[in-house]
Amino acid sequence: MSPEAQKQAAGEAAAALVEPGMTVGLGTGSTAERFVRALAARALPLRVVATSEATATLASGLGFKLIDLDDAGLIDLTVDGADEIGPRLALTKGGGAALLREKLVWEASARRVVIADASKRPGRFGRFPLPIEVVAFGHATTAVRIDATLARLGLSVRARLRLRDGAPVRTDSGNLIYDAPCEEIGDPAVLAGALKALTGVVEHGLFLGLAERALIGTDEGVITIFP
């Protein structure tokens, strides 16, 4: 089964978890898009909250009733992809530069399900460069503090400003993204706390203790993993 077919299978399996009348958080990225389209095909009466402008545009075009996060109350279920899945469903997210909005929606949800293809479980957590969202003002000085923090934790790497077509990538909130190629993260909770404590850092891409299950497409079908 190709990665694209695995993503499709995981997205359809997650769509089957949704019940009529729910408020649903819609993730961002290529795998989450499979879920959104599979959910639209079910034509259920739902309210949805999008984690990015791109997802909002997709959902609106598919006929979903979009609401703002502030008007949603407790979201029943959020389904989203991940760039990497580690032990106890520790996740790295932010490859699509939507990590802040994604985390806001995740933390406002009663249930959170991550969907992915088999490649997102590389065996050594930290292989995907860790996205870190920072305020644009003084971002280079923030990057210096990020690098010092990584070094203090034994990660001798430098965070790199994310560029697209030679220009810095801007998030939907107007912030910038730095990517830290950690290669291996031994204690994600320690790293998460240290980064969040830095002035100028808005959010990081470590999603810890949030996912209730993972639905992963494999050559043998969709498997379910719990923390």
Q: Which residues are catalytic?
A: 102
Q: What is the SS3 assignment for 118?
A: helix
Nearest to 90 by CA among 226, 207, 214: 207
Residue listed under structure tokens 């998030």: 171
Compute the distance between CA of residue 41 and CA of residue 30 in angstroms, rounded to an integer.
Answer: 17
Residue 63: CB atoms within 10 Å: 8
> Rg for the chain (alpha carbons), in Å?
17
Nearest to 51 by CA among 78, 12, 18, 84: 78
Compute the distance between CA of residue 164 and CA of residue 65 in angstroms, rounded to an integer.
Answer: 32
Helices and strands: H and E segment counts in the chain: 7, 16
User: Burial level of 154, CB count in 10 A (0-12/13-18/19+)?
Assistant: exposed
Q: What is the SS3 assignment for 142?
A: helix
Q: In this structure, which amino acid lies at residue 14?
A: A
